[in-house]
Every structure is written in C-alpha cells, then in structure tokens.
Chain A
Amino acid sequence: MAVDQTTITQLEGTPVSYEGGLARPAQSYWSESWERLRGSTFGMFFGGVLVVLAVIAITAPLFANFVTHVQPTSVDLSNNFAGFSRAHPLGTDELGRDTLTRLVYAARVSLGVGFLTVAIYLLIGGTVGISAGFYGGWLDDILMRFVDILLAIPTIYLLIMITSMLPLPLGPITIRHDAFSLSFIIAITVWGTVARLVRGETLTVKNRDFILATRSIGASNLRLMSRHLLPNVLPVMIVAASLGVGQIILLEAALDFVGLGVQPPTASWGNMLLNAQTYFYHSTWLVIFPGVCIVLAVLSANIFGNAVRDAFDPRLK
C-alpha cells in the first residue's frame, strides 16, 4: 500500500515529549488482577497456607518415610491412644496408627477432592452455561429447565442417595467410595449454580459491541465462543472456583462423617472425625486434630477465595 508519508505525519499529532496517558507498560487484565491479588496481605498469606497444605498432601509418602517413619495404615495395638512423643508427635489412634501421618494422607483426600471437584464442575457448568447463553432459544430453555430441576433437589439428599448406592457396578467398571469417584459425584450434583452464573455472564458479554464487531468481520460461532466469549467469562468462573473450594472440602468432610464418603482404612479428615467421635471423652485429641485441619483448610480457601474475587472482579477492569 502506498503510504502517503506527509499525511501520516500530520495524523501522528502526539508530540514525542508527551505521551498522554500511556505511561504504564502494556498490561493485560490477567497481570493487573494478579498484581491486585498480590496487594492483599491476608489473601496472599492464606494462599500460602493452602500451598503449604497442598505440598504436604502431595508429598505425603515422602513425609511418611522421612518424617514420621510410619505408614498411615501401620497398626500397632500395643501403642494405641499414645500421647505425644518423638515417634508420634500427635499421638496414635485406637489402632495405634500415627495421627500425624494419617492427617497428612487425609489432606490428600480432602484437598484432592476439593480441587478436582471444582475443576469438574467448572467444566460441566461452564460448557452448559456458555452454550445456553450463547445459542439461546430451545437449547437454553431445555438446559436451564434441567438446571432448575437439579437445583431444586437438596444437595445433601442427592449425595446421600447416590453414595449409599455405592459400590455400584456399571458395566465394566464399578464405582466405589474413592476420592476420584467422589469428586465426580459431588461435581455432578453442584454444577447447576455455576451453569446459571456462567449463563448470566455469557448473556452480558454476548451483547457487547465487540462480539458484534467480530461477527461483522466474518467470525464463526465457534471462534466467537472460544476466543472471545470464554476469556471474558473466565473471571466469573475463577471467582466461583475460588469460593467453591472451601465449600467442597466441607461437603466432602460431611459425607465422610456420615460414613458415605471415603471409607476406612483410607484416611480422610471427615472419617477420622467419625472414628474419633467414639473416643471423645477418652482421647479428645483425636477429635481436635482432624477438626483443626478442616477449619484451617476451609478458612484458608475462603479467605484466599475472597481475595481472588476482589482481585479478579470483572467490574474492576
């Protein structure tokens, strides 16, 4: 294209000495949000706590081998209800199993289910929400009525119903009470709220001019949804996720506590609590430790979640 040099210099009227509002370096929404998050002391502190918990959970076997030198399932009946000692810093339970090791392994279950469930329900709820919001019409009607029905059933009831049917043989596979299956089960009962949230945000974003503009240059629906809608709907999903982790940890612990979640001998904070209930007056520590762990994890998740929400709030753009 023959660029007319004289006309170009006329247009570039911004003098070199003064940039007028562009003093900051290029910064995307994501890096801006991350900076905001970094500015929240509480948020970062409790985020750190979560990270530490996660690391401990992931490295549980290493922990068992190098720190406590016992396995979570090692039974030692001669040493049950032991007090605090070098060998068992937090004592032992009724079967002589080391409490600390069990707590660390239990962290795997609780945190694992927490994060995995959130990931799954974001995937399901997000897909349903974006499809319903973007296409509208009968698809929207059907999907949302389905969500309405799902949301009308009490979560606990649904969960209890499903988990009480386990182990459930389904053709070649059998669904058992393991953390992985539990994540899926919980996820399919709670994705409804996220779907609604995402659909709402999709409707808002869909009506913005830039979607119309991209359509006017010839973009297909798929391109619009994946490259334009999704990145703009993501903040809302991040916020939902960050607040969901705490809720799911509690929910999972509750399930375990009523005996329908992860089954012993696999340790989870919930079933450790259930176990310890019987020995409440005898060895109160056995109740306190798992409880403290749950509180710590949920509190950290909630506070960090709040900080994430404040930092990523789409309205703060």
Chain B
Amino acid sequence: MSTEAPARPKLTKAWTAAEPILEVKGLKTYFPVTAGILQRTVAHVRGVDGVDLTVRQGETLGLVGESGCGKSTLGRSILRLVEPTEGQVIFKGEDLTKLGAGEMRRVRRDMAMIFQDPYASLDPRQTVGEIVGEPLDIHHLYTSKKQRQERITELLRVVGLNPNFNNRYPHEFSGGQRQRIGIARALAVDPSFIVCDEPISALDVSIQAQIINLLERLQDQFNLTYLFIAHDLSVVKHISDRIAVMYLGKVVELAGAGELYRNPKHPYTGSLLSAIPIPDPKVERGRQRIILKGDVPSPVNPPSGCRFRTRCFKAQERCAQEVPPLDTVHLDGHEAACFFPLQPGDR
C-alpha cells in the first residue's frame, strides 16, 4: 500500500504467486456435543467434514450454502479462529495448523476477516480510531504517533469514511458505515488474503451495492484475494470468479461463476438456483422451480452416502451406499459430487 507501509513478515519457505495462495486439504472441524453430569462427549457436530479447496492469488472464491452447511466454520477454521480437528491449511506454502501462537500472530498480519454483523463486530467501548489502529499496535508497526495517525486517516479515507470520525463510537454510525470501519480494520496491516464472512447480509439493500463495489475496488487496488462467504447466490455470483457450493459440511460443486449458473450439475445447486427470486416479474412467472422436500438433516448425524439424498429428486440406491467424491463429475474447471448429475432436460 503506502510507501511507508511496514515490510511484510518473512516466511519460512519461499512462495511465489505461481502457486496457490491457499490450499485446504481434508479439513474437518467437529464440535463435541456433551451430555450428562460428567459432560461426556456423546456425539459431534460435523461443521466441516472433509473439504479440499485451492485459491489462487488475486481471485475471489465464493463459498455459498444455507444455514448449517459449514461455510462460516470453514472460513473461521482457515484463520484458526476455530481450531480444525483434522486436515491442513497451507497458506503461502506454510501449514497453519502446525504453527504456534507467536507464528500464528505473524501470519495474522497477512490474513484478515470481515464479519457479518456490523453491530457486534466492533467493540462498543472503543472509538473508531482505536478500532482501526489496534492492528497497528498489536504488530508494533509504527513508533511515530504521527505516522500511525496518518495511516489511520488513510485507511478511513480509502473505505470512504470521513477521517474526522476518528473519535466517534460505533453506535453513532449506520450499519453500512460500521461495515466500512470493519473493512478498514481488516486492511490496516496490508493483508494479502481476506475472508469475508457474509459482509453484506445484515445491511440494507440500498447500501449493499456500495459495500460490494468498495470490496471490488479494494481488491483491484491492493491485489487482494478474497474468500467470499454468503448465502445469497446472486451476490456471490456477481463478485466471485469461482464458486464452491456447500451442503452439510462438504463441498458439493465447484465451478466458475457463470458456468455454475448456466450449467449446474449437482441437484442441490439446481434447486438453490431455482429458489432464488429474481427481481423481474416476467422472468419470475416463467420459471421452473425445483422445490425441495423436507428440511436440512442434522449435522450431528448426517445421512449415509450422499448427504443430500434425503431431499434429492434424483436419488437412487447407490446414493445411500456410497459417498460421491467431489470429482465424480469432472469437467474443465467444474466438479460436482453426484452420481446422477443434472442433465439439460431436468430443469
């Protein structure tokens, strides 16, 4: 960013932009369910149940799914805000799951997160200047108070906030402005990778576009890589290069954004696409809907084989017996975990 910006932390291994910036291998994050007087673990909520992902530098990978699919847990596991149970998270060549606290702190200068709830993600007792300046203090980046304040002013400007707001408190701002503060905080130490966890779901519709445009502009300006997590596929399709669809802890389809929309292979993706309302009465009247039966099964005890089979209109015996791997359908840059993928005639 700035010519005065502190140097990036040194990595233990050399990494070049030709390799993926992030590789997730076999990631599992389980949460214990305890019961009884002695609080014994009786079961596990399988938040993330075996996910492999690759993210290239400069791209936006969208992560989409409904509640309980594990997308937020995946985002937090990558940052180790929630400890993964199994698997590897390789960021710029380093396996984050093997790092100690001090090393993790160093890495945290290079990865950041933007949170969903603009009302809960800022400390109500801190001023805006303190919130945005805290990362600078934690990593001891500026010895000169003047330079530190200049950096904070820069950050506020870049996200579109009046720098005079420095001494105000979060509750004096609207949701959209608070989200901008959160973005400024994330950018403070000049990260290369940002996990955006539902950054616009809690905002008014007329403000959402402002924040989407801001995120896109920042990505171009600072060469950022995004993992964009959301449940609204319209937004994810707009901002992402590639999209991973999650269901009950697993990725069920992975494709380029446009390709996913035009040519979905997994029945869940198909029903998700057909369920999303489009603001155009003519288009809406003419749509064919795939309405799913029933509700999402419990992540404690998922169905055997393919987890989606209990609601799938194409399910057959094989689906109950075998778990389809992600590359069951393997087209160019497009994978889907389904033995009986959607065909053009199905929709």
Contact = CB atoms under 8 A, between A and B. Distances in A.
Interface of A: 1, 3-4, 7-8, 11-14, 20-22, 24, 26-29, 208-210, 212-220, 223, 228, 231-232, 317
Counting contact residues on chain B (CB < 8 A from A), the size range is: 35 or more
B112 A217 contact: yes
B167 interface: yes
Closest 10 CB pairs of A and B: A11-B160, A1-B2, A218-B108, A209-B121, A209-B120, A217-B135, A1-B1, A231-B125, A218-B105, A216-B113
A212 B115 CA distance: 9
Contacts of B117: 209
Given A209-B115, A213-B113, A216-B79, A223 B138 contact: yes
Given A209-B120, A218-B139, A231-B125, A28 B160 contact: no
A229 to B, nearest CB: 10
Given A11-B214, A27-B172, A214 B134 contact: yes
Contacts, number: 108
Contacts of A28: 125, 127, 169
Interface of B: 1-3, 5, 76, 79, 81, 101, 104-105, 108-109, 111-113, 115-117, 120-127, 134-135, 138-139, 154, 157-160, 162, 167-169, 171-174, 182, 185-186, 188-189, 210, 214, 217, 221
Please classify the interface of chain B as helix (H, G, I), strand (E, B), loop, or mixed, using the class held by over half of its residues: loop
A12 B126 CA distance: 23
A243 B168 CA distance: 31
25 contacts: A1-B2, A11-B210, A11-B214, A13-B160, A14-B162, A20-B174, A21-B173, A26-B127, A28-B127, A28-B169, A212-B81, A213-B122, A217-B108, A217-B112, A217-B135, A217-B138, A217-B185, A217-B186, A218-B104, A219-B134, A220-B105, A223-B138, A228-B125, A231-B123, A317-B171
Contacts of B221: 4
Contacts of B125: 28-29, 228, 231-232
A162 to B, nearest CB: 33
A3 B174 contact: no
Contact of A218 (B5, B135, B174, B182): B135
Contact of A24 (B76, B127, B154, B172): B172
Contact of B158 (A1, A26, A215): A1
Contact of A26 (B108, B122, B167): B167
A213 B169 contact: no
Contacts of A14: 162
A234 to B, nearest CB: 9
Contact of A210 (B120, B169, B217): B120
B126 to A, nearest CB: 8
Contact of A3 (B109, B115, B158, B210): B158
